[in-house]
Each structure stands twice: as C-alpha cells, then as structure tokens.
Chains A and B, each alone.
Chain A
Amino acid sequence: MAEGLRPDPMPEEREATALSVRGDAGTLKLVSKATYFKEAALKNLFLACAFMAVAAVALIFVFVGYRGWPVFTEVGASNFLFGREWLPTQDLFGILPLFVGSIVVTIGALLLGTPLAVGAAVFLSEIAPPKVRSVVRPAIELLAGVPSVVYGFFGLLILRPIVADLTGGLGFGPLTAWIILAIMIVPTIATLTEDALQSIPNGIREASYAMGATTWQTISRVLLPAAKIGIVDAIILGMGRAIGETMAVLMVVGNAPGFFRGMGKPLSTLTSQIVMDMPYASGLHRTALFGMAIILFLVSMGLVLTVRLLSRFKEEGL
C-alpha cells in the first residue's frame, strides 16, 4: 500500500510483486525505476499546468499594477477613488461615479437574475421530469455560451426601444443593462445552485417526504436552507460575472460617466469606461484606466475570497 505521496506501483508491478512474494518468501520486489520516472514526470507535468494558471494571474496583476500604480501617487488615492468627476480632458480622474455605476448595474442585475436563476435551478433539480430536464438544462447552459456582443446586440435592438417607451429617453441606461445582465448571469447562478441542490443526499428528501411534507415544503424548508451556502456562492460568482461584464453593458448603458440619475438615464461603469477611453487615452488618463483595472481586479479577488471563506464554513458544518 502506498504511503503518503509515494507513487503507487503500477498494476502489473503489483501483480508481479504478489507473485514473487508467493514464490519466494524472502524478497519483496522493488518498484522499478521506470515506474518512479513515469510517476515523477506526470506529477511535474501537472504541476506545470497548475503553475501556468497561477503565473498568468500573477503576471496580469503585476502588469496592471505596474501601469496603474502611478495614478495613486500622481492623482492621489482619495481624488482617484472618491473623486466625483470623470473629466479626463480637465485632468479630473474621479472614478466614484463609475464605481457606483458598476455597483448599480450589478445589484440590479442580481435582483432580477437571482430569483430567476434559483427558480430555474429548483425546477431542474427538484421538479422537472428527466425529459424536460434534458432539454432545459442544456438550454440554460447555452445561455453561457452566447457571446456577450450578441447579448449587447439583442439589448440594443430589441430591449432598448421597449425600455425607451417605458422610461422615456433613448433607452440607454441601467434598466436595459439590468435585463441583459440578468439573463447573462442566469446560467452561472442556475447551474451552481443546481449543483448545490443535487449534492444534498437523497435521504434528506426522502426523510422530508416521509414526514408528510409536500414538494414545496421540502424545497423551502429543507433543501434551500441546506443549499444556502452553495447558493450564496453562486450569487457571488454571478456578481463577479456581472461586475466584470463589459461589451454587453457598453452597448446599452449609455456611457455617460455621471452618477445614477434614473433607470432610463445613461450611465457608465468601470469596465465600459475603460473600453470607451482606451483607444485614445494617453499619459495620466491611460494610467487612470489601469488604476480602474486594479480596482476591478481587487473586487473580483475579494469575491473569490469570500466564496473560499464560505466554503470553509460549509466544511465545518455551520
């Protein structure tokens, strides 16, 4: 039997070992050099794969940090983070309105998308007959595969005129972005919530039904509470997707770098503003855009960290 991380002998070897033990009680056959070499090579190959991913993240962070850091010294951290005006032509680089814009767009999308996604997950996991499930689940997964520019197009051409009728104006603004983003985060939240529900042992469901609970009571009183950490995880990851989404938001949000003034009034977000300005920005303006990227990076890091912490709670069974 293998001890710790020592490579387990290959099956053929194990057989040979068994035979030699039987044949000659005195000697146990040693694991061959070839086996050790193969095992070590594979281990290092997988290590390299994992390392590449980590290295990519680290490199991006270093690059963005290096290019963006001067904004904190030259504009000043508080002017940059809490400045209320984004007017690069007048050297005003306050990202607060953009940050607020990102938050507004994200929260709205979550409020619309979460109930939809959790509802879909409950349906898939607990209610849908296998045949329906085999159609609906791929359809939801397909949503994740639609390029965001297509969502943007859909928003621009179909949704925007409807929103314009509802709110007045041109229909560029948070409401349109909410709806588009809500649809975009449904697959993330729905599939992760479904996984969380599916990971609940079937005995728990049986116990609830056997107690005389209805399907709805079982879902609302046992299954959703049991899956709550998984669902919060799902929502946080959906949030990460929403806050980082660029293209679809850019196409419908209006890109006016001011504070939120209404559901139908143009707005801008950190991501969309970076794309809008990057083609022509230079000097300090460009540095400020990298500074915004640092903020986005930190936000998503914070979200991932939160998910990690929550998973630890789950392991401790709290």
Chain B
Amino acid sequence: MNHTLAELQSGVAPAADPTVKIAVKGLDFFYGDFQALTDITCDIRDNAVTAFIGPSGCGKSTFLRCFNRMNDLIIGTKHAGLITLDGQDIYAPGVDPVDLRRRIGMIFQQPNPFPMSIYDNVAYGPRLHGMKKKADLDEVVETSLKRANVWKEVKDILGRGGLTLSGGQQQRLCIARVLAVQPDVLLMDEPCSAIDPTSVQKIEDLMAELKSSVTIIIVTHNMQQAARVSDETAFFLQEVMGEPAMLVEFGRTAEIFTSPKDKRTEDYITGRFG
C-alpha cells in the first residue's frame, strides 16, 4: 500500500488493523465557543454496522457529520484531533471534501429527494462524476434502486417526481441515490425516525445486505433498532447541559446491551433516563 501525501504530512501510519475503516483519535468539536464533543476516540470497523446511541443533544449527529465533513458547511465550527479513513487524515490540508463525500455517503433524518424525477435523483451522483452514456446510467439506476430495496415499487414510474413517493419510499430512493456513487461508508442520521414501519423493515433488511460491501454508521434513538441492526454500539452522553458530550462506552452490540461496563450505559439502555 502506498502512503499518500496526506498520511506522510499528518504522520499517521496506515491503520495497523485492516478491519478498521475509520479511526478517531482524541476528537474535540466546537460550534463557535461551544464545545460539543470532547476527546472522542474509537475505531469504526470495516463492513460492519456501527450504531451511535444516546439521549437527544448528545452530539451523535455532530460526530457523524465530522466523517463526511458536512460540518465544514456550518460557519464557525472547528475541531481538534484526528479522523482517518483507511489510514488517511480526512482533515489534512489539501484533502478535497467533495471527493471525501463521494466515498462517504449520507442519509438524513428527513427524506430529501431532489425535486426531479426518480431516475434523475439516482443518476445525480453518477452524472456529477462524469457518467454520460444512457446505457451506463440506466444500469446504475436499476442496480442502485434494487440495492435500496425500492426497485419493485418504482420501476414503472421512473419518470415521476421523487417527491410524489411516500416518505418511506423517498428514504429508500435517497439510499439508492447515495449507493449510485458506490460509497465505501454510509452514514445514516436517524434514517427511520420519520417513516412508516414497513419501510423501516425494508431499510433494516437492506442494511444487513449492504454491510458486506459498505461500512455503515447509524445514529438512532430506537434502542431496539440499534440492537437489531448493529454489530457495534457507541453510547454518547452529555452529562451536564452546556458541557461537551463524550463517548461513554463502545463495544460489541451484544455486550453493550447485555453486560454494559459503565453504569451510565446500563441506566440508559434500561430506560432509566434519556
């Protein structure tokens, strides 16, 4: 494996453990003067589903948005510490956030298809990255919609507006749109909290299918969902209002849910607060 310039500059060796997709070391994050996250260190495993759980406002989404540098778009944010993707510092000078976001796709809480046809929604990413031939686009659109578990429902109405679909279908359309650019990592920010149960089921199914090829990180408020879909779980907590949130416990989902090491994790998952 060749070392990239960014690696050399940041002095990070390629991840020693090849099963680690994203490594976070001592991450602090600030909105202006407010520190939202403090000293977060964790390794996100490749080809697995990692769930971020914790009470509202504990910085899960903020943390998630560090991975594809969506926080860059918010004025006044800054961070300290290190995040690497395949051993490369994603915040190293010269790293193009646009290319990073192609490799790390994101699904949002509210389904947000573009106000254009279903086909154009899915073809958006490939077209951005230069795909022009109709046949190629047709194929990508079909494959992506199939992978997103929504092909059967939309295959005859590809020309219809994406916004005419139901909320759950829209969310799967958004997943197809992201999959069309073949990301390595899929960030899901409470993807199921605004949609119907049938679609939730379909999305959980597709997560299980996708994880062989994509690393998935999901933020969820639904603890049953975290227990069902994830291999690893990270529990975040902001103990005092106005103080930064921290990573309390991180480990195998089965262990976190059955024998948490930290009292606070236990209290949270047994529903004693939050």
Contact = CB atoms under 8 A, between A and B. Distances in A.
A211 B75 contact: no
Contacts of B116: 222, 225-226
A141 interface: no
Nearest to A211: B125
A129 B128 contact: no
Interface in B87-135: 98-102, 105-106, 108, 110, 112-116, 124-125, 127-129
B8 interface: no
Nearest to B68: A210
Interface in A197-211: 200-201, 203-204, 206-211
Contact of A208 (B100, B102, B114, B161): B114
A47 to B, nearest CB: 36
A214 interface: yes
Contacts of B113: 207
Contact of A207 (B99, B114, B127, B161): B114
A162 to B, nearest CB: 41
Interface in B51-96: 68, 70, 73, 75
A206 B108 contact: yes
Contacts of A222: 114, 116, 124
A207 B164 contact: no
A235 B173 CA distance: 33
Contact of B128 (A201, A217, A226, A317): A217
Q: Can you list the 8 inter-chain pairs with the closest CB atoms, starting with the nearest?
A: A212-B102, A203-B112, A210-B106, A212-B101, A207-B112, A226-B115, A211-B125, A212-B98
Interface in B121-169: 124-125, 127-129, 161, 163-164
A209 B112 CA distance: 12
A213 B98 contact: yes
B114 A209 contact: no
Q: Which of B112, B113, B129, B163: most chain A Cβ within 10 A?
A: B112
B178 interface: yes
Contact of B112 (A129, A206, A317): A206
A209 B70 contact: yes
Interface of B: 68, 70, 73, 75, 98-102, 105-106, 108, 110, 112-116, 124-125, 127-129, 161, 163-164, 174, 177-178, 181
Give the interface residue-count category, chain A.
20 to 34
A209 B75 contact: no
Given A201-B112, A210-B108, 12 more contacts: A129-B75, A200-B115, A206-B106, A207-B113, A210-B106, A210-B178, A211-B128, A221-B124, A221-B127, A222-B114, A225-B115, A317-B164
A203 B101 contact: no
Given A201-B112, A203-B108, A204-B114, A209 B73 contact: yes
A214 B114 contact: no
Contacts of A200: 115
Contact of A203 (B98, B100, B110): B110
Contacts of B114: 204, 207-208, 222, 226
Interface of A is mostly: helix
Contacts, number: 73
Nearest to B73: A209
A211 B101 contact: yes
Given A212-B181, A317-B161, A207 B128 contact: no
Contacts of A203: 108, 110, 112
21 contacts: A130-B75, A200-B115, A204-B112, A206-B106, A207-B112, A208-B124, A210-B68, A210-B70, A210-B101, A210-B108, A211-B105, A211-B128, A212-B98, A212-B99, A212-B102, A212-B128, A212-B181, A213-B128, A214-B98, A221-B128, A317-B161
Interface string A222-237: 1001100000000000
Nearest to B124: A211
A207 B174 contact: yes
B64 to A, nearest CB: 11
B261 to A, nearest CB: 34
Interface of A: 129-130, 200-201, 203-204, 206-214, 217, 221-222, 225-226, 317-318
Nearest to A200: B115
B175 to A, nearest CB: 12
A225 to B, nearest CB: 7
A211 B108 CA distance: 12
Nearest to B100: A212
A208 B70 CA distance: 11
Contacts of B178: 210-211
A169 B100 CA distance: 59
B148 to A, nearest CB: 14
Contacts of A221: 124, 127-128
Q: Which of B100, B101, B114, B124: most chain A Cβ within 10 A?
A: B114
Contacts of B129: 212
A208 B16 CA distance: 34
Contact of B101 (A129, A209, A225): A209
B130 to A, nearest CB: 12
A204 B98 CA distance: 16
B144 to A, nearest CB: 12
Nearest to B183: A212
A211 B102 contact: yes
Contacts of A213: 98, 124, 128
